[in-house]
Structure 1
Amino acid sequence: MSKKIILKGTTEQLKPVITQILAIHQMLEGLDLGAGSDRDSEAYPERRYRPQIRLHFLQDTDFDKRSNAPGYHGERRVPGRLTWRLMNETSETITLGELTRIGQQIKQIFGANSGYVWQKGKEIYTYADWDKGYQMQILARSASQAQDLVSKILSLQGHTPTWKYMTKGENLDQPSRYPETPVTKLILGKSVTMPKTRPNVEVRFAYADARIHKLLEPVVIYDRTNKKVGALVR
């Protein structure tokens, strides 16, 4: 059976359709919708080699581990990641000065007050304005927080949200599809807690980096945790 999907229509008609297909694919594959993806660059080739800015979030260390060894027992601190691309730059035009400027802005908006807290939830909100470099999928508990995240990210480039580019996807039976009660399995004679899918959890902004085409390692442009070596802004 072919894995190809053939779509027909104008760019404006196809943008939301492709975005929803990507979201459905991630859901079926069990991928973390808040961890970012590069598949958008494959669907929209003009984005592929543009510098990508990534915001990284992580659950606080005082989360409910339910054990003294969360790694062994199947639990992890929940991460989050939001990304966008700089459509007015390429790997050859972007400068350390510009990345430092972006890092300073991220520090002001996401680094203040001990770090922005993103309340991840079970509803998926997608903001897709590809011409400006945005194709974000945000797991949240309400439209208002998803809009707050979008507004803050767009403000970094002086952009104003156009809400017709934002859509919502929601499972009709969330308690069954994404239960909050942990599922356990018996592995090697021990009860192992399985990671939750789309948990209701708070993740705090930690650092931001930039992926530049042809560079093997990302450039850390702002580090709130003071744990990243060589960060441009602290």
Structure 2
Amino acid sequence: MSIRDWAAIRRALINGDSYNSEVILHFADLPTNPEREGVKALCLVQPNDSILIAQQRIRFFREEVQKTHLKPIIIGQPKIDLDADVKYHPEVSIKFKQSLISVPRGKQPKDAQISWRLMTETTESFTFAKMNDVATLVYQQFFQNRFSFNKGKFIGWYISPPDGLNLQLYCLDETEAERVAKYVVQAVGKTWDDKIFKITKPKRSNEITSEQIIILGKQKNTPVWRPNITVNAYKANINVWGAENQEFELVGRLTNGQFFAIAR
């Protein structure tokens, strides 16, 4: 690789919505402190870095900070195969994540997702102008005052196909499940129906201390079953059947942690 080519790649890693931006957003979720700032500085590609140093920084971020090699393997059908068989209405998804400050050392943050479909729209009728409207609604309802909820072992169900709603909410208790379900139903402009809402109350406890077992020669704690945690909205997108990129981001996040509706 020529020096000129590497300089162009390095600029791309540093500027815009690229690698350095991803690093900055990762560390924006926690209060600033010298230790974290030092780790962030180690991850950021610098203007004078060689290829070798940049590669080491990226590897350190992926393996030691994000621990991508420890992410669970998800087994399922490739989406391109699903799209060949099933045609669907545009689907909006709000993704939630546990605050990193509350995650025990060595553990991964828990997540959650709330989705609904735009039943009045199809791929043919949907436009970027309508996507703008959806982005504005999602921002105002879930990110302007960042929406969060307490996750746990109770399951709140609100299934209304005509409204595009198939909610399965894992919450701390029945009250929290109903609160979240009502909020989502009203946020997307639908009418709440008490007859639709149902709750599942598992007898199994989720507050038992996890036992330790030997995994690959090392002592590890077993996973906690549906722990009681708080998750915060951090990302939103919409999936459009048949579109070239299929998934479009609705809400972005600035380096200072503030959210904004993405204009198209």
TM range (shorter): 0.5 to 0.7
Query: Once the 2 structures are TM-superposed, how far is the Cα of residue 77 of structure 1 from its aligned partner?
Result: 0.5
**When the two structures are superposed, what TM-score results if normalisation uses the length of structure 2?**
0.60
Rg (Cα) greater in structure = 2
Q: Determine whether 1:80 maps to 2:119.
A: no
Contact 1:126 1:137 (8 Å CA) reproduced: yes
Q: Aligned match of 2:123 in 71, 91, 97?
A: 91
1:191 to 207, 211, 219: 219
1:166 and 1:185 map into 2 onto residues whose CA distance is: 39
Q: What is the DSSP-based 3-state SS (H/G/I as helix, E as strand, rest coil) of the residue aligned with 2:100?
A: coil
Identical aligned residues as a percent: 22
Cα 1:121–1:155 shift into 2, 3 Å: same
The answer to whether the aligner puts 1:116 opposite 2:152 as a matched pair is: no
Write out per-residue CA displacement over residues 135-165 of structure 1, whole angstroms, 9 at most, x where no aligned residue: 1100112333222222332233321211211
Change (3 A) 1:132 1:124: same
Structure 2 equivalent of residue 20 of structure 1: none
Q: Structure 1: any 5+ residue segments left out of the alignment?
A: 1-37, 39-46
Distance 2:87 2:186 in 1: 23
Within the alignment, does 1:232 sit opposite 2:259 as a pair? no
Deviation at 1:64, TM superposition (A): 3.4
Match of 1:19 in 2: none
Deviation of 1:180 after TM superposition, in Å, equals 4.1
Judging changes above 3 Å, is the alpha-carbon distance between structure 1 residues 223 and 195 closer, same or farther for their aligned structure 2 residues? farther
Given candidates 207, 212, 228, the residue that maps to 1:200 is 228
The 5-angstrom pairing of residues 1-234 of structure 1 reads 49-65=88-104, 67=105, 70=106, 75-113=107-145, 115-172=146-203, 174-175=204-205, 178-215=206-243, 216-224=245-253, 232=262
Instruction: Give 1:222 shift.
Output: 1.1
The alpha-carbon deviation at position 76 of structure 1 amounts to 1.4
- Partner amino acid, structure 1, of 2:252: D
CA contact (8 A) 2:156 2:181 kept: no
**Structure 1 pair 88/76, CA: closer, same or farther in 2 (3 Å)?**
same
Q: Deviation of residue 183 (structure 1)?
A: 3.1
More helix by share: 2
How far residue 206 of structure 1 moved from its aligned partner, in angstroms, is 0.4
1:186 Cα shift? 1.1
Cα distance in 1 for partners of 2:232, 2:221 equals 23
The 1:110/1:220 distance shift into structure 2, 3 A limit, reads: same
Q: Distance in 2 between matches of 1:206 and 1:224?
A: 8
- Corresponding letter in the other structure for 1:125: G
- Conserved in 1, the CA contact under 8 Å of 2:103 and 2:109? no
Amino acid at match of 2:100: T
Q: How many residues align?
A: 176
Q: Which amino acid aligns with 1:156?
A: A
1 CA distance for matches of 2:230 and 2:195?
27
For structure 2, the 5+ residue unaligned runs are 1-76, 78-85
- Aligned 8 A contact 1:120 1:203 in 2: yes
> Which region of structure 1 is more displaced relative to structure 2, 129-138 or 95-104?
95-104
Distance change >3 Å, CA 182–CA 189, structure 1 → 2: same
SS of equivalent residue, structure 2 residue 195: helix
Deviations, residues 22-60 of structure 1 (Å, cap 9, x unaligned): xxxxxxxxxxxxxxxx9xxxxxxxx95111000100000
Q: 1:77 & 1:180 partners in 2: Cα distance?
A: 19
CA shift, 1:225, in A, is: 6.1
Equivalent pair of 1:207/1:225 in contact (CA under 8 Å): no
Kindly tell me: are residues 111 and 58 of structure 1, through their superposed partners in 2, closer, same or farther at Cα, counting changes over 3 Å? same
Measured after TM superposition, the shift of residue 116 of structure 1 is 1.3
